[in-house]
Amino acid sequence: MHEYSIVQSLFDQIRDTARARGAVAVHRVTIQIGEIAGVEVELLRTAYELFRERTICEHAPLEVEAVAVRWTCPDGHGDVTRGHALVCAVCARPARLAAGDEIVLKQLELEVP
């Protein structure tokens, strides 16, 4: 279950950000998880709930935003239509992954005195 290691890294990043800004509490955590990031969102939520006890995030709910997979032409001819072959319809070059594999700490709502 790599979700626990993801949450541990998330908490390290939150701690560093909160400390750098002099925050005394975190009131909300928002993350983005790509459709093909290989993360089981419910396991991640469970891990977050376990980790946040007695931390600066103790009262901070976790919001998860899903990011859809998006493939695009490497030469800038636009996106490849979902469900089609992963090649550009204009130049036939193999598409590159533009979104959908990320795990990003998007936003923290901090309490700063």
Show the domains of the chain with their CATH numbers.
3-111 (3.30.2320.80)
Q: How do strand 25-34 and strand 62-67 relate by DSSP bridges?
A: parallel
Q: What φ, ψ does residue 17 adopt, rounded to 5°? A: -65, -45
pLDDT at 1 over 70: no
pTM: 0.85
Residues 6+ apart with CB under 8 A from 101: 34, 36, 37, 69
Under a CB-based contact definition with an 8 Å cutoff, are residues 4 and 47 in contact? yes
Q: What's the pLDDT tens digit per position in 62-108?
A: 999 999 999 999 999 999 998 999 999 999 999 999 999 999 999 99
